[in-house]
Amino acid sequence: FDVVDLIHTKRDRGALSTAQIDWMVDAYTRGYIAEEQMAAMTMAIFLNGMERSEIRDLTLAMIASGERMNFDGLSKRTTDKHSTGGVGDKITLPLAPLVASFGVAVPQLSGRGLGHTGGTLDKLESIPGWRASLSNEEFYSQLENVGAVICAAGSGLAPADGKLYSLRDITGTVESIPLIASSIMSKKIAEGTAALVLDVKFGSGAFLQDINRGRELAETMVQLGRDAGVATSALLTNMNVPLGLAIGNANEVRESLEVLAGGGPADVTELTIALAREMLTLAGKPDADVEAALKDGRAMDTWRAMISAQGGDPAAALPVARETHVVTASRSGVLVDQKALPFGIAAWRLGAGRARKQDPVQHAAGIDLHAKPGDTVTEGQPLFTMSADEPERFERALEALEGAYRIGDAGDEVFTGGPLIAD
């Protein structure tokens, strides 16, 4: 094949054959297709979309670009979840040990944050001693003995996606249903989990803001999973408002510990429980009492075992930032708006996220919210606290927050963009 012919086909709204897609992904992974040619291809896909059969072929070709893991040797069933990413989304932290406390295995291969969305590994690395990289032997033995593992995905899984995702990130081609669906599902299918629950976000802090596009993404991914023999389901959840009260790294671990201790903000707990039920249902345990496992300490025990197994000290103090800056209510009233995206960008600018892949994050940097939309506030009361190691970061974070929140009067419409979990 000639890659220029394939680009013409997609540019002119045609469909690529299985053989063409297999060839293209293989040639790109090996470096025979130039980055600028693949950039043109991804833009053509972004603008013109792909047929379901093309999305399936792209997913399978990306899986075939690397190794596949296999959990047949485990005595437990595997069940996993994936979130399309959001602001304050720390759900994996309480969820993996909660689900594993019922005797199933949760092989959670996670990533790092890029842009305004946080990364699970960055959050966990705020725990002294904890390490994200495990050998294959350590990974399998922890799955068998503890049940929950949250660690870095090796570069061997779907390497084509690794290359393609970096390219999309710098060419404005991330927010595309065929490209997101094949990217996520190639990694999850290659990972070898038997069951998978997708937390597909919509709203201002999500990749796809429109709920209908979120629904289409969810349906596309569920179909890809089922076609590959993975028991797959999806929840469509609201990312207009930050999830919980903590946005950052160490503070998100603190909030996760509250959930594991049976408390925590209502939205974080609700989503954790809903996703746990779904994961356990797919793993053949539809009657598991997940609320009881949060209240009676079983989920917390599994958390401690999971952290210790990866070198972390679950009892160690978490880092605290050198500087804080409190923003107070300018008037009394009701908090009617709190937009996820600007709060995510502000936390990123405070140092919780990274601008380039190789940059470190500052674990104690971030934002703690003291009020959520619908709450009554009085003039002078703290609305949120920003934390950073360098005080000069506060100004840039405040710029991002201009217009991000609003205090109205009792009776004004409160903007949340609908319920947390959509029908």
The region of 13-21, 70-78, 177-185, 310-318 touching ligand URA under the rule CB under 6 A is 177-185
Q: Is 370 a catalytic residue?
A: no
Task: Name residue 385's beta-bridge partners.
Answer: 326, 368
Distance of CA 24 to the CA centre of its chain: 28
Does residue 165 bind ligand URA (CB under 6 A)?
Answer: yes
CB 175 within 8 A of CB 207: yes
- Binds ligand URA by CB under 6 A, chosen from 183, 193, 232, 256: 183
| Neighbouring residues of 408: CB distance < 8 A, sequence distance ≥ 6 | 333, 334, 336, 337
Q: Is 325 a catalytic residue?
A: no
- Which whole-number Å values give the CA distances from 363 to 25, 118, 121, 254, in the listed order? 37, 11, 11, 12
Cβ of residue 89: shortest distance to ligand URA, in angstroms?
12
Choosing from 65, 182, 183, 186, the catalytic residue is 183
Q: Where would I find the H helices in 84-176?
A: 92-100, 120-124, 136-145, 159-169
- Binds ligand URA by CB under 6 A, chosen from 63, 143, 151, 184: 184
Task: Name residue 248's beta-bridge partners.
Answer: 366
Residue nearest to ligand URA (CB): 183
The region of 173-181, 220-228, 391-399, 410-418 touching ligand URA under the rule CB under 6 A is 173-181
Cβ of residue 174: shortest distance to ligand URA, in angstroms?
6
Between 95 and 180, CB nearer to ligand URA: 180
d(CA 386, CA 323): 8
Q: Which residue has the tokens 């013409």?
A: 8
d(CA 259, CA 28): 44
CB 259 within 8 A of CB 295: no
- Which whole-number Å values give the CA distances from 12 to 9, 48, 148, in the listed order? 5, 8, 47
Does residue 180 bind ligand URA (CB under 6 A)?
Answer: yes
- Binds ligand URA by CB under 6 A, chosen from 66, 85, 203, 373: 85
Two tokens at 419? 């319920």
Instruction: Give how many residues touch ligand URA by CB under 6 A.
Output: 9
Choosing from 10, 56, 82, 349, the catalytic residue is 82
Two tokens at 227? 């076609």
Q: Residue 240: exposed, middle, or buried by beta-carbon count in 10 A (0-12, 13-18, 19+)?
A: buried
Contact flags string 200-219 toward ligand URA, x per CB under 6 A:
-------x------------
Q: Is 8 a catalytic residue?
A: no
| Neighbouring residues of 252: CB distance < 8 A, sequence distance ≥ 6 | 88, 90, 93, 118, 123, 244, 246, 366
Choosing from 22, 57, 161, 267, the catalytic residue is 161
The region of 33-41, 174-182, 298-306, 312-320 touching ligand URA under the rule CB under 6 A is 174-182
Cβ of residue 83: shortest distance to ligand URA, in angstroms?
9
Q: Is 201 a catalytic residue?
A: no
Does residue 95 bind ligand URA (CB under 6 A)?
Answer: no
Cβ of residue 111: shortest distance to ligand URA, in angstroms?
7
d(CA 340, CA 247): 10
As a residue count, the chain comes to: 423
Cβ of residue 82: shortest distance to ligand URA, in angstroms?
8
Amino acid at 162: G
Q: Is 210 a catalytic residue?
A: no
Does residue 160 bind ligand URA (CB under 6 A)?
Answer: no
- Binds ligand URA by CB under 6 A, chosen from 20, 78, 84, 120: 84
For the annotated catalytic residues, the residue numbers are: 82, 161, 168, 183, 187
List residues near ligand URA by CB under 6 A. 84-85, 165, 174, 179-180, 183-184, 207
